[in-house]
Amino acid sequence: MASSDVTVHLNQKALRLLQDDAGKIEKLIAIQMENLATRKCPLYEEVLDTQMYGFSRAVDFAVRAGLVDEQAGKQLVSELERNLALLYEALARKEE
């Protein structure tokens, strides 16, 4: 395998792993939101903040290590934030 092939493979693998992590966070938050009496619960806010911080740090590391393009990293974080906002809005409508 040529050096450029290895690099491409590592980049794709890093991106795939980060996408999997984002999906796990979305599932965790969705389950938590379904089981809590209110979305304003401090536990929900704590888990969301912790998960988002950890994910953004993982993306930052991947970008700094050259495994993920900076724009792709920003898009991953933005996409996760957008998806979590949609979950939040869906729960708010459900509570009305």
- Domain segments of the chain: what residues? 3-95
C-alpha 55/C-alpha 48 separation (Å) is: 10
Handedness of CA 89, 92, 94, 96 (dihedral sign): negative
* Backbone φ and ψ of 36, nearest 5°: -90, 150
Tokens of 24: 């796990």
Checking if the pLDDT of 22 tops 80, the result is yes
Report residue 10's pLDDT band, with 50, 70 and 90 as the boundaries.
Answer: very high
Query: Which residues, including other chains, have CB under 8 Å from residue 83's CB and lie 6 or more apart?
Result: 22, 26
Checking if the pLDDT of 92 tops 80, the result is no
Q: What's the predicted TM-score (pTM) here?
A: 0.81
pLDDT of residue 30: 83
pLDDT in tens, 35-80: 765 556 677 778 888 999 999 999 999 999 999 999 999 999 999 9
Architecture (CATH level 2) of domain 3-95: Orthogonal Bundle (1.10)
